[in-house]
């Protein structure tokens, strides 16, 4: 066989082998429909189909009026294109760095180095260039810098900044993880589900015409509406911030609630945080719900209610104040155990006598009935408020002394929200309602309500008659010369309240902390007393107060500001005299003098027999106390504040507490009251310049008392429990 024939045979064999292999592969594909272990249809999908994600949206959290408190918004990351082959690249790194630096608060040289990076298609510009707002994006776009562009990403945003932060909580900026508050506890309702769109395209990715696309619709998270009222919450946040900066306490907490429904209208803590910058959080605890402590004398409200309900309370019955022996222990009143002699129980409540409530609990009620009412008022169980991490109470009930101390707020620990729930029974004709903060959760597409909050009466520990009697006595705490609640007086409104001052367990050893300001100061108040619409609870832990200030100073600043603002916002007007009183021959009914000439108004009121004091050098009445509609008798003081900017301190020696509070109200003063009765000393001398919001110290005394009986130490911090 020649060489030509040999080559032909070899080529034929090779051809036949290749043909056999190809035929075998085609046959295999026909039967198995698989190529390299991949389904042919899958291969076609991968080559010709395109899938894009349709992003859902995390549910929005709103206040009661529909104002957004937590929402998903687009954010922008600054990107610089550096690819030399791109027509839209950074052509002048130095110029771009110099223009960008002041806007994003970066160093010019650092930006220049990043913008000069070689071998990169694009770069991010680091700190300060992520999560940019739309406003910041537009500001950068206005520079007209070539090669500077943005990547759009969704993020969680809290438009009201430091606003009920511990209630709302926060998520990571990319919403991958919910970290605390309602964001976390309601995550199953708020979480979103992304969708997708799938279509066929050519090799360049262009959609093929007349081809059906497959769309999986994204699902947005549910909308959550809270009972919080932005107007009241903002007022609370603002005054809390002011007090925090002024007094630098260890912590503060405050709650505003509707006693009829149980709705929480405002809730705040300090330290607080801005959830947009969660890296800076120092306190993760919602103290109003998740902390318990010995409440102090606010607990006397409920001991008093129990004694009245059981028919063992006689407000005119006398007892010996000062100290009270219980076995080997001795309870002392807050004025170093001196007491006020033999006084009636009503006065004991006004003065916040620990001896009075020890006697009530042990001699009149008895421990068993006391603890029965502790349970009736809900202090042994969580309230069940729809907020996460609610703490439990710790009621001391092992020894006889425990019943006495629990009765006046020491030894046992409860939460602020438990106290607010119990207070609803006092302010709501004996019916105790459960507090709640979630108004409703609804479908954003259909508006269907998935879950809703509602008023839930969880007990009726006392009768309506008892509740009213307690409110009447609580009002005297604020209005009586003997009351510890005088700093909480608000002109024109009926405030029923009770002060509280509790010792703090020493973290470094046995016993309690001691020293000026080393206590938790609190106040529980309801208004208006005749038909309470609001409960406000405030507690301030170890404020930095001067030796001349009482613990009531920061607490009253918060309480009076928020209560007065809220009442006016809810259109609850200052109390006016009844029609019959207006028709009476005796008495002088004040008119509205705002905007009128000072001299003419003073002359008119003086002619009617009123004692008129003008504050300020202006010629027009800018403010008046008492207000329009108030009925006065001859000789009562009327204060007129002019429209001038400078004010002189009047001489107030001999003025009553009521008149001092008129002055404090009209000049918005922070007043420190020491004693009761009539003014014997004023810290700002007469005729000295004084400004709105200044501090004024006032000492008062009863003219009938001897020097040894002077009440100069009656005040918030002196309510501290003393047990030997």
Contact (Cβ atoms closer than 8 angstroms) between residue 115 and residue 97: yes
Q: Respond yes or no: is residue 656 known to be catalytic.
A: no
CA distance 548 to 546: 5
Q: What is the 3-state secondary structure (H, E, C) of 650-682?
A: CCCCCCEHHHHHHHHHHCCCEEEEEECCEEEEE
CA distance 529 to 538: 18
DSSP 198-266: EEEB-TT-PBPTT---EEE--BPPPEEEES--HHHHHHHHHHHHHHHHHH--SEEEEEEE-TTT-BEEE
Residue with tokens 């130490």, as numbered in its chain: 713
Helix, strand, coil shares of the chain, percent, nearest 5, are 35, 25, 40
Supply 28's token pair.
């295999």
> How many helices (H) does the chain have, and how many strands (E)?
21, 36
What value, to the nearest 5°, has the Cα angle with vertex 420 and ends 501 and 248?
45
Laid out side by side, the sheet with 519-527 consists of 264-270, 251-257, 534-541, 519-527, 496-503
Q: Is the previous residue joined to 626 through a cis bond, with omega within 30 degrees of 0? A: yes
Q: Is 171 helix (H, G, I), strand (E, B) or coil?
A: strand
CA distance 493 to 563: 10
CA distance 544 to 698: 20
Q: Which listed residue (272, 297, 352, 522) is catalytic?
A: 297
CA distances from 662 to 496, 638, 658, 667 (A): 18, 8, 6, 9
Laid out side by side, the sheet with 621-625 consists of 611-615, 637-642, 621-625
Q: Is 361 helix (H, G, I), strand (E, B) or coil?
A: helix
Kindly state the helix (H) or strand (E) to which residue 295 belongs, with its residue range: none
Catalytic residue IDs:
297
């Amino acid at each position: 066989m020649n060489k030509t024939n040999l080559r032909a045979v070899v080529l034929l064999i090779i051809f036949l082998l290749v043909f056999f292999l190809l035929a075998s592969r085609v046959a295999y594909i026909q039967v198995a429909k698989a190529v390299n272990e991949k389904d042919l249809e899958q291969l076609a999908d991968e080559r010709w189909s395109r899938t894009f994600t349709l992003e859902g949206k995390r549910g929005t959290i709103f206040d009661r009026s529909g104002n957004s408190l937590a929402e998903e918004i687009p954010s922008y990351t600054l990107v610089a294109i550096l690819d030399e082959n791109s027509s839209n690249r950074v052509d002048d790194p130095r110029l771009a760095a110099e223009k960008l630096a002041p806007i994003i608060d970066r160093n010019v040289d650092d930006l220049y180095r990043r913008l000069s990076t070689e071998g990169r298609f694009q770069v991010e510009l680091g700190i300060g260039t992520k999560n940019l707002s739309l406003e910041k994006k537009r500001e950068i776009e206005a520079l007209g810098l070539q090669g500077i562009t943005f990547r759009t990403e969704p993020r969680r945003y809290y438009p009201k900044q430091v606003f009920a932060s511990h209630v709302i909580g926060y998520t990571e900026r990319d919403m991958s993880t919910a970290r605390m508050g309602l964001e976390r506890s309601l995550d199953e309702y708020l979480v979103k589900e992304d969708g997708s769109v799938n279509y066929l395209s050519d090799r360049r990715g262009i959609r093929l015409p007349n081809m059906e696309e497959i769309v999986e619709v994204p699902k947005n998270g549910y909308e959550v509406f809270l009972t919080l009222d932005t107007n009241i919450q903002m007022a609370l946040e603002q005054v809390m911030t002011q007090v925090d900066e002024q007094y630098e306490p260890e912590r503060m907490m405050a709650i505003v609630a509707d006693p009829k429904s149980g709705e929480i209208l405002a809730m705040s803590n300090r330290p607080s945080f801005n959830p947009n910058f969660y890296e800076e959080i120092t306190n993760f605890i919602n103290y109003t719900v998740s902390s318990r402590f010995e409440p102090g004398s606010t607990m006397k409200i409920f001991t008093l209610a129990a004694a009245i309900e059981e028919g063992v309370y006689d407000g005119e019955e006398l007892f010996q104040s000062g100290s009270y022996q219980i076995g080997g222990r001795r309870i002392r009143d807050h004025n170093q155990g001196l007491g006020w002699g033999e006084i009636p129980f009503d006065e004991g409540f006004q003065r916040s006598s620990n001896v009075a409530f020890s006697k009530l609990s042990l001699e009149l009620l008895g421990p068993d009935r006391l603890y029965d009412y502790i349970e009736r008022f809900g202090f042994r169980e969580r309230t069940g408020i729809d907020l996460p991490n609610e703490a439990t109470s710790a009621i001391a009930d092992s020894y006889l002394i425990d019943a006495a101390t629990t009765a006046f707020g020491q030894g046992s620990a409860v939460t602020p929200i438990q106290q607010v729930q119990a207070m609803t029974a006092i302010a709501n004709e004996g019916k105790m309602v459960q507090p709640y903060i979630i108004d409703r959760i609804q479908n954003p597409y259909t508006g269907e309500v998935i879950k809703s909050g509602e008023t839930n009466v969880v007990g009726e520990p006392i009768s309506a008659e008892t509740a009213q009697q307690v409110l009447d006595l609580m009002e005297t705490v604020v209005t009586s010369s003997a009351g510890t609640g005088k700093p909480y007086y608000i002109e024109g409104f009926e405030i029923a309240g009770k002060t509280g001052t509790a010792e703090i367990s020493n973290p470094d050893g046995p016993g309690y902390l001691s020293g000026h300001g080393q206590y938790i100061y609190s106040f529980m108040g309801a208004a208006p007393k005749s038909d309470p619409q609001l409960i406000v609870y405030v507690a301030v832990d170890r404020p930095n107060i001067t030796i001349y200030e009482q613990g009531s100073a920061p607490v009253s600043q918060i309480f009076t500001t928020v209560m007065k603002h809220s009442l006016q916002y809810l259109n609850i007007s200052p109390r006016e005299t009844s029609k019959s009183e207006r028709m009476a021959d005796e008495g002088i009914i004040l008119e509205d003098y705002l905007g009128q000439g000072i001299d003419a108004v003073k002359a008119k009121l003086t002619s009617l027999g009123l004692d008129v004091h003008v504050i300020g050098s202006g010629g027009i009445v800018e403010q008046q106390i008492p207000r329009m509609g108030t009925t006065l008798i001859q000789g009562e003081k009327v204060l007129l504040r002019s429209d001038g900017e400078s004010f002189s301190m009047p001489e107030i020696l001999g003025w009553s507490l009521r008149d001092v509070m008129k002055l404090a109200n009209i000049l918005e003063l922070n007043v420190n009251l020491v004693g009761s009765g009539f003014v014997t000393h004023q810290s700002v001398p007469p005729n000295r310049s004084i400004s709105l919001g200044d501090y004024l110290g006032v000492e008062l005394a009863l003219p009938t008392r001897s020097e040894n009986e002077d009440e100069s130490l009656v005040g918030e911090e002196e309510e501290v429990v003393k047990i030997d």
